[in-house]
Structure 1
Amino acid sequence: MDFILNEEQTLLRDMAARFAADARARQEKTPEAPDRRWSRFAELGLLGLTLSEAHGGLGGGGVETMIVAEEMGRQLLTDPFVPTVAVAGPLIAALGEATQQAQLLPALAAGDLVVVPAFLEPEARYDLAQVATTARAEGERVVISGRKAVVLNAPEADLLLVSARASGAHGDPEGLCLYLVPTRTPGVVLRAITTLDGRPAAELTLNAVTVEATARLGPAGAALPAMEQAVDRGVAALTGEAVGAMAALFDLTAEYLRTRKQFGAPIGKFQALQHKLVDMKVALELARSVAAAAAMAVDVADAEVRRRFIAAAKVQVARSGRFIGQAAIQLHGAMGMTDEYGAGRYLKRLVVIGALHGDLAHHLERFAASTEPAGPRH
């Protein structure tokens, strides 16, 4: 696939690369508070990347989001860029009323507000319609009760974008609503956890949480299509993040083969290891191509086309990530598994990305469903 960045996108990539490298250097030398680093994201305009200029944003799309996510993956940053900028921001822009947009989006772009989605539930298996959390109307207020699983960056969030069922049966695509719930609302319980790759997350319980009816985002009972598109945006950004992690892991492995000596020569001169490194490079370029295709597909109006590209990208990135991670550990030997060395940390990031918003098997099924011919089978 011929994918060439234009001048503005190249400048964005270079800026994001410098920022991400500096952020990682600061973190390893003198860890800074997450809110301070988030403010520096805002100062560069990265938090408004997907928002319109009217709301303090840059008007970027899927490609620009992928570019920044790739540099974050290269440096193993754990900030809520994907949940907030790739998923929540565009969702508020798409569904929010004018007053909600005016209140929330400029604050998000300025770094004064962190919003993360809370969609998935225990035993839902990536199905956004499998929502048991209920939203019960009581006059001008709504009472929300239920549980959400592995809400990324929830401990750092100010607002949770919660999916809840106002009507319909469990699994019904109709009847779903989205509500903006402040994390400090009485009844909101966050049990903080840390994912395998070091991301902050939480298990969320909503114990009869009461919010104003105006906290609903978008029309009642019709949130699922917008949720699906928002999650697709998140998946596309994650594939970019995975490419960054794979590229860094490939570079780390290539440098190790150049410097590690055995029998008086760098082990990179051994033909069998050269072949393995070439295979890693091929897997990386395959992942880079499909990530670019997914980034361009997130803004496609045809939902079936979008799903097909997103699913294909997630499948290939999961396969490439697994192969590159395993090959890197094998080529490094035992030291590749240590926490002190970078290879193991990159592998953990790739494993987590492979599971977020649908694993390989889930997206294989999704891809197959999106490519089945219409009409009866004979």
Structure 2
Amino acid sequence: MNFDLNDEQRLLTESVSRLMMDRYDFNQRKTYAMSEEGFSPAMWQAYGELGLLALPFSEDDGGIGGGPVEIMIIMEEIGRALALEPYLPHIVMSASLLRHAASPEQRARLLPGMMDGTRHIAPALGEMTGGYDLSHVRTTAREEGAGFRLDGAKTLVLHGGCAHTFLVSARLQGRPADQQGIGLFVVEADDKGVSHRPYRTQDGQSAAELMLADVHVAKDMMLACGSEAGPAIARMADEAIAAIAAEAVGAMDSLVKGTVDYLKVRKQFGQVIGNFQALQHRAADMVVELEQARSMALYATMMSRHEDAIARAAAISSAKVQINRSARLIAQACVQLHGGIGMTMEHPAGHYMKRLTMIEKTLGDSDFHMDRLASDTNG
């Protein structure tokens, strides 16, 4: 299989890399992180001007028609720059849900604002009692007249504080843990009965708790139900894990390069510490872990839109386990090789470690994905 990028993909890589290098150094990132939004709205508009916000959408919907490889390229550069903008939840995840669940009329209503950067749409799927299982839904949707009434709460809505619209899963019938009986609804942030509590996460990004109290949703704002909503959510999660794996690879790549550069200049005992063989071995171990993670991220990218749900899930879970392992080993080695400065807020190393730690816990930790692999193998 040929993993070389074509000319358009190489141009995309160069364009995104140049954007990040010009406008996303470490000090600029700290300024963005302290803003009310938690990211740079001007940078978000720059994403739009570069076509990144329209990239995942089909040409029929007014988008660019990019695929998993293009998403991988963007996410890797986002990880390398430790960028704060909500590209993963508001573009990658929302685009997937709308692609797999929304009608052409619904997409025509929602996508223009997403593609020009004026509308932020956040998936609101996780619940406190569900853990990493997005099919465990206690939020209810009861049919009433010309629409539905939604009641419940959603947790860890990524960048939910700045969202104009939420894509909410709610149970139409059955028990909370049932795979079937789920509906997927479009809920506006200013609808009556909708409230949210935003907060910052450990890696400097943001999330929100979403509360729904007797919220009325028109019937034409239901994206999917019955046997359609669950598979759409599962596909979204797999595609998002492939994207976050690429982000992790970008972050790990920056960590490895930064650590090797540090070993070449930091002096102790009258010489640079990179001359010590034990530290050279640690650096070599980091490179090996990085390349293993890169290989599995590529595998996840290739499999993220596979039509066989079982094969896709196995590939994605395998990749997530390796990404989690590599991220932890590289982040810990980086901080240890830097010494005390690696733990400070003034040095990038600790910030990368925090982001990789959050990636490890996003959309399933290693135990969750090992269990999923075992279930798919035995079932």
- The reply to whether residue 258 of structure 1 matches residue 264 of structure 2 is yes
| Equivalent residue number for residue 274 of structure 2 | 268
d(CA) in 1 for partners of 2:31, 2:245: 30
d(CA) in 2 for partners of 1:184, 1:4: 46
| Equivalent residue number for residue 82 of structure 2 | 76
User: Runs ≥4 in structure 1, deviation > 6 angstroms?
Assistant: none
Aligned partners of 1:49 and 1:85 also within 8 Å: no
d(CA) in 2 for partners of 1:216, 1:2: 41
Deviations 1:113-160 (A, max 9, x none): 111111110021111121000001110121111011110010111110
| Equivalent residue number for residue 27 of structure 1 | 28
| Equivalent residue number for residue 166 of structure 1 | 172
Aligned partners of 1:89 and 1:108 also within 8 Å: no
* Structure 1 residue 2: Cα displacement: 6.2
| Equivalent residue number for residue 283 of structure 1 | 289
| Equivalent residue number for residue 10 of structure 2 | 10
d(CA) in 1 for partners of 2:21, 2:59: 27
- Decide which moves more: 162-171 or 100-109: 100-109
* Structure 1 residue 54: Cα displacement: 2.2
Structure 1 unaligned runs (5+)? none
- The reply to whether residue 214 of structure 1 matches residue 224 of structure 2 is no
Any idea what SS the aligned residue of 1:47 has? coil
d(CA) in 2 for partners of 1:90, 1:322: 28
* Structure 1 residue 264: Cα displacement: 2.1
Within the candidate set 90, 93, 98, 1:92 is matched to 98
Any idea what SS the aligned residue of 1:204 has? strand
TM-score (norm 1): 0.95
Q: Which amino acid aligns with 2:18?
A: R
| Equivalent residue number for residue 252 of structure 2 | 246
Any idea what SS the aligned residue of 1:116 has? strand
Q: Which amino acid aligns with 2:284?
A: V
- Decide which moves more: 90-99 or 253-262: 90-99
d(CA) in 2 for partners of 1:174, 1:243: 35
Any idea what SS the aligned residue of 1:209 has? strand
Paired residues, number? 373
d(CA) in 1 for partners of 2:329, 2:364: 18
* Structure 1 residue 221: Cα displacement: 5.8
Within the candidate set 227, 233, 252, 1:227 is matched to 233
* Structure 1 residue 169: Cα displacement: 1.3
d(CA) in 2 for partners of 1:57, 1:351: 33
Q: Which amino acid aligns with 2:224?
A: G
Q: Which amino acid aligns with 1:92?
A: L
- Percent identity between matched residues is 43
* Structure 1 residue 79: Cα displacement: 1.1
Any idea what SS the aligned residue of 1:150 has? strand
* Structure 1 residue 74: Cα displacement: 0.8
TM-score (norm 2): 0.95
CA RMSD of aligned residues (A): 1.6
Q: How does 1:151-162 map to 2 (within 5 A)?
A: 151-162=157-168
* Structure 1 residue 55: Cα displacement: 2.0
- The reply to whether residue 102 of structure 1 matches residue 94 of structure 2 is no
* Structure 1 residue 220: Cα displacement: 4.6
Within the candidate set 301, 308, 318, 1:302 is matched to 308
Structure 2 unaligned runs (5+)? none
Q: CA 1:29–1:345 in structure 2 vs 1: closer, same or farther (change >3 Å)?
A: closer
